[in-house]
Structure 1
Amino acid sequence: MANETTTKNDSTNVSFGKFKVGGYAYAAPVGTALPTDSESALDPAFQLIGYLSEAGITNTTDTDTAEVKDANGTTVMKVISSYAESYKFVLIEFLRKAAAQMRYGNDAVTGKDKSMVIKHQMPDDTPVSLVFEIVATGNVKDRAVIGSATRSEFGDRQMHSSDVLGYDLTVNANDMGDGVTSIEYIGIPKG
């Protein structure tokens, strides 16, 4: 007889994705030890990059397919020929040095929070590691880990009284090995 939980719908598996209170977006140099579960403490090299806008994170995948046709032109097979993944978000702690560095690169930003010099220049394509901490309904932790993220797109920045200042960017999730572009750890915290 089949396990009852696999043959019936379960409303406790439905969830909202809120972010962890106190800090949920972190960046570190590539090569920093990455977390391997949903709850272990992050390596101290991970810096908090601050609040994200209310739009949160958009994770996009891009795939291409190749078709194999027979002599009559009939498609006999379709295979995925390429896969790419990106993450889009807006950092709204405009005055946080780590947020500015995430947008412009470490070497383009000097100073400290609320007192910086930012050199607007060719975007830095040095990859970084990113971790996003999400809490699903029922206090279930959901941690997204991007071992190597490269800045790839930058949104417009408007400066006026009716919009929050922020850094709108998209990062490409690069191959972490074996074709893996990011890892998501979902689990209930211990204790």
Structure 2
Amino acid sequence: MAANVVAGKPLATGGVLIAALGTVLPTDATTALDEAFKGAGYIGEDGLTETTERSTEKVKAWGGDTVKVLQTDFAVSYQFTFLETLNGDVLRTVYGDANVTTTPATAEAGTLHAVKINGETLPHKTFVFEVKDGEARIRIVVPDGQITEVGEVTYADGEVVGYQVTVEAFVDPTLGANAVKYVDDGKKTA
């Protein structure tokens, strides 16, 4: 049915929100988020890509018949591009909290960010991805996510600077899942 088809547009308030581990998690698609969540601003036009990977191994009996398929690996990750490269929350997420020092704007200079680029492991954070289409809402909650890849950063005329990232979603023992997707079709009863 065509009414069940949804486009993946971000909410007007932002499609990617970030908070520290342990922040109170949402449990549905529409309830207001804890104030600890900070918006990451604009995300690249390719939006958000969810990748689920399962590795399996076939066990064969004598004669070649497959008698069992074992799952040997499972992973969930999300890819997107941060476009707001002057956003302090984005810089701390991409480079690590301890590697970004922010000085508020003064009469002499705007907001200043000093960013250390080093090999330190990036911190685990909580991510929420917000999607809408008309009244329909999808909220994806990653209780424990870590940026595991940052793509090349290009500084060139005619291009915006962006940070293409991959967020690995780790299993949350309380939820028993790497991520939770809440879907509300927006069709309320009278």
Relative to the length of structure 1, the TM-score reads 0.88
* 8 Å CA contact retained: 1:155, 1:168: yes
- Pair 1:124 & 2:121 matched: yes
Q: Which of 132, 136, 145 in structure 2 is aligned with 1:135? A: 132
Letter of the aligned partner of 2:3 in structure 1?
T
Q: Which of 56, 60, 84 in structure 1 is aligned with 2:47? A: 56
2:30 matched residue in structure 1 = 39
Letter of the aligned partner of 1:116 in structure 2?
H
Structure 1 stretches of 4+ with a deviation exceeding 3 A read: none
* 8 Å CA contact retained: 1:97, 1:112: no
Q: How does 1:14-25 map to 2 (within 5 A)?
A: 14-25=5-16
Q: Distance in 1 between matches of 2:166 and 2:7?
A: 23
Q: Distance in 2 between matches of 1:189 and 1:168?
A: 35
1:6 matched residue in structure 2 = none
* 8 Å CA contact retained: 1:50, 1:93: yes
* 8 Å CA contact retained: 1:39, 1:189: no
Q: Which of 175, 180, 189 in structure 1 is aligned with 2:171? A: 175
- Pair 1:160 & 2:160 matched: no
* 8 Å CA contact retained: 2:97, 2:123: no
3-state secondary structure, aligned to 1:15: coil
Q: 179-188 or 93-102, which moves further after superposition? A: 179-188
Q: Distance in 2 between matches of 1:129 and 1:120?
A: 22
Q: Distance in 1 between matches of 2:34 and 2:188?
A: 19
In angstroms, what is the RMSD of aligned CA positions? 1.8
Q: How many residues align?
A: 181
Q: 96-105 or 118-127, which moves further after superposition? A: 118-127
Residue identity (%): 32
* 8 Å CA contact retained: 1:49, 1:102: no
Structure 1 residue 74: Cα displacement? 2.0
Letter of the aligned partner of 1:143 in structure 2?
R
Structure 1 residue 112: Cα displacement? 5.1
Relative to the length of structure 2, the TM-score reads 0.89
Structure 1 residue 67: Cα displacement? 1.0
Letter of the aligned partner of 1:70 in structure 2?
A
Structure 1 residue 167: Cα displacement? 1.3
Structure 1 residue 190: Cα displacement? 7.4
* 8 Å CA contact retained: 2:130, 2:137: yes
Q: 180-189 or 96-105, which moves further after superposition? A: 180-189
